[in-house]
Structure 1
Amino acid sequence: MKVTTPCTLGFLSTLAGTTLFAPAIEASLEFVAMLPNGGNVPDTPAIGHPDGTGDSAATNAFGDAFAEAGHKWTMELCMADTDGDGQTNGQELGDPCCEWDMDANPVVQWTDGVSHPDDATKTSDESLWANMVCGGSGAASVSETIEAAEGSSSSAGNSTASSSASSKKSSTPTSTAAAPSSSSQSSSTPSTSSAPAPVNSIVITAAGIVAVAVFNFV
């Protein structure tokens, strides 16, 4: 007759529990590798589970969103704010520009300072990405971007001013009429020397009239 001792029962219970939860734990470890800094969140080896360990198959809001994304780190999941703390999941997990890819680009911007994307009481230091802009060839300095924009604006302003000045210059009417010469002015001025003087004719006519009058009187 076999007797089962309490010690044996405890061992069997532990073994059964381990066997039952092993798939969930293995799945959690597998999913952690599919997320940027998935295993670097302090005191939380399984960020998709409410217990933080993966011992329970239950998932939190982030775990649900991850499942809805097909267990992939998508742009939508990265840009989402699962816990509503004002920081995107990407910012909390060291991928503020959502450039991380498990196969093509498994590179994060930082590993120290990540926070839990499903715990609103835990956030990352915003200075970690304050001087970064996303897009193009990757992260760049904000000051460099501003300087480039100001340079472009100044160049455009100079070009516009130059074009405006040129336009004004070309639109100014140019006088082509030559000033009249002194010879032309003198030729157009009427001459008074050519007019005949009527003095002699008047004298002769008057003398004739007097002579006729005297003759008639006599």
Structure 2
Amino acid sequence: MLRKISLFMLFTIVWSYQKFQMLIPNGDAVPNPCAGQSGIWGGVGHNVAAGGGLNNQFGLDFNSSGKVWTPEFCQKDSDQDGKSNGFELGDADCKWTPGGTPEGIATGHPGVCEPMNSSKCQQVNKNITCSPSNYT
């Protein structure tokens, strides 16, 4: 019984991330910004690649937008790196709608200030965890 409950909870968590990824352009293809790590950052609105735990500023802004990709949310620079959320997610013109194809590819992470080792990003990224993740 415990095994069934554990599997159900794992499925629910993974499905939830996928549901939220579909609400932002290229949400399932955000590159991992951590040095020496490849793959995607599955929990885009979270401080760790696999998701869960505390939200980063992009996640907080996503919640504040009602979990809707609005022009205001798209134009916002959640991670304070000088690039809008839309630009980093491949929707620089903020025209994407759920179910559509973004005009470009995700070139950055809207919740992690990049480059991560720059002096302007150190404070913004203080809660970001770059430990290896099995989420690819």
TM-score after normalising by structure 1: 0.44
> In structure 1, what is the equivalent of residue 48 of structure 2?
51
- Find 2:84's aligned residue among 81, 88, 93: 88
* RMSD of aligned residue pairs (Cα, Å): 2.3
- Report the AA paired with residue 88 of structure 1: S
Which of the numbers 30, 51, 59 marks the counterpart of 1:63? Answer: 59
Q: Are the structure 2 counterparts of residues 14 and 119 from structure 1 closer, same or farther at C-alpha, using a change threshold of 3 Å?
A: farther
What is the match of residue 23 of structure 1?
Answer: 12
Q: By how many angstroms is 1:58 displaced?
A: 3.1
Q: Counterpart of 2:68?
A: 72
AA matched with 1:116: H
Q: Deviations over 1:116-147 (max 9, x none)?
A: 00111259xxxxxxxxxxxxxxxxxxxxxxxx
The within-5 A match list for 1:137-216 is none
Greater fraction helix = 1
CA distance change for structure 1 residues 37 and 122 in 2, over 3 Å: closer, same or farther? farther
Task: Tell which has more relative contact order, 1 or 2 (C-alpha 8 A, sep 6+).
Answer: 2
- Computing the radius of gyration over CA atoms, which structure comes out larger, 1 or 2? 1
Alpha-carbon spacing, 1:114–1:15, altered in 2? closer, same or farther (3 Å): farther
Distance in 2 (alpha carbons) for counterparts of 1:50 and 1:25: 16
Distance in 1 (CA, whole Å) between partners of 2:19 and 2:50 is 13
Residue identity matched to 2:113: A
What's the counterpart of residue 131 of structure 2? none
Cα deviation for residue 108 of structure 1 reads 1.6
SS for the counterpart of 1:31 is helix
> Once the two structures are aligned, what percentage of the paired residues are identical?
30
Given residue 112 of structure 2, which amino acid in structure 1 is its aligned partner?
D
Q: Does 1:109 align with 2:88?
A: no
Instruction: Report the residue type matching 1:39 in the other structure.
Output: D
Q: Which runs of 5+ in 1 are unaligned?
A: 1-11, 124-218
1:118 aligns with 2:111: yes
Question: Which consecutive residues of structure 2, in runs of 5 or more, have no partner in the other structure?
Answer: 32-39, 117-136
SS in 2 for 1:94: coil
The structural deviation recorded for 1:14 is 6.8
SS of match in other structure, 2:16: helix
- The letter of the residue matching 1:48 is G
Does the 8 Å contact 1:24/1:57 carry over to 2? no
- Distance in 1 between the 2:2 and 2:114 partners? 36
- Which residue number in structure 1 is paired with residue 28 of structure 2? 39
Alpha-carbon separation, structure 1, partners of 2:88 and 2:3: 36
3-state SS of 1:28 partner: helix
**Could you give the per-residue CA deviations for residues 66-87 of structure 1, whole angstroms, max 9, x where no partner exists?**
1111111011110100000000
- How many residue pairs align between the two structures? 108
